[in-house]
Amino acid sequence: MTELDLTTASERLEGATPEERLAFAVDRWGDRLLFTSSFGAGSGVMLHLWSQVARHLPVVFIDTGFLFDETITYRDRLVQQLRLRVEIVRPEVPRDEFLWEHGADVMGRDPDFCCARNKVAPLRPYLRRSLAWVSGVRRDQGSTRAKVLILQPTADGPIEVHPIASMTAAEVEEYLRAHAIPEHPLRAKRFLSIGCWPCTHPVPEGAGERAGRWAGTAKTECGLHTHLKRV
């Protein structure tokens, strides 16, 4: 798609439903469409949509080695319930070897490095062969995501596709209830955005959804959705 066509399509999809947005992407890019999921809090919406529109395509799950046991349990539950195909991707260097080489406190000393090695790097082979990349990014999740487009062009990678960009946290909860999709078990303990356990904490009342990620630091993103240069 040309940049003009992409802008026009993105503007048109603003008035479409999440299902219609995802169906557009599946129809346009087929098996060159990548979908990654963290199986974290709120992930059930995109996973359910995927099971309805693109069940024949895989869900890519990055197992960093630092995930909560509850996340793995939740993944297995939704895979069975929604009959999803999942491809599990792992870092080249296993967790124990990584910690031995870089120190057990590497997450606190250099979280950007840790994320780059254990989250971003494992996905690169998938990004190289993909024309578009679906994720569950929403505009109300924080300032770094507030202006994402439905179809977001990048200068050095696949087009980012955000079918639920315009959904609110309240709409996510309603969707999960309406479709009987269980929420991540840590959600009840106010883990509102869930990644690796060393860098994920409960969110205080009144704080933003992603306030529990890298708490006490200036870091707000793992880099998975920000390392590509948007245009």
Residues annotated as catalytic are 222
Degrees to nearest 5, angle at CA 228 with 223 and 231: 135
Q: How far is CA 17 from CA 31, 159, 196, 207, in A?
A: 22, 19, 31, 29
DSSP conformation letters of 146-175: TT--SEE-BSSSPEEE-TTTT--HHHHHHH
User: What is the arrangement of strands in the sheet containing 151-152, beginning at the earlier edge strand?
Assistant: 33-35, 132-134, 159-161, 151-152
Nearest Cα neighbor of 35 from 127, 111, 148, 103 is 127
Residue 65 CA to residue 85 CA, distance in Å, equals: 21
- What the block records as the tokens of 74 is 């939740």
Q: Which DSSP string corresponds to 20-66?
A: HHHHHHHHHHGGGEEEB----TTTHHHHHHHHHH-TTSPEEEE--S-
Residues β-bridged to residue 87: 60
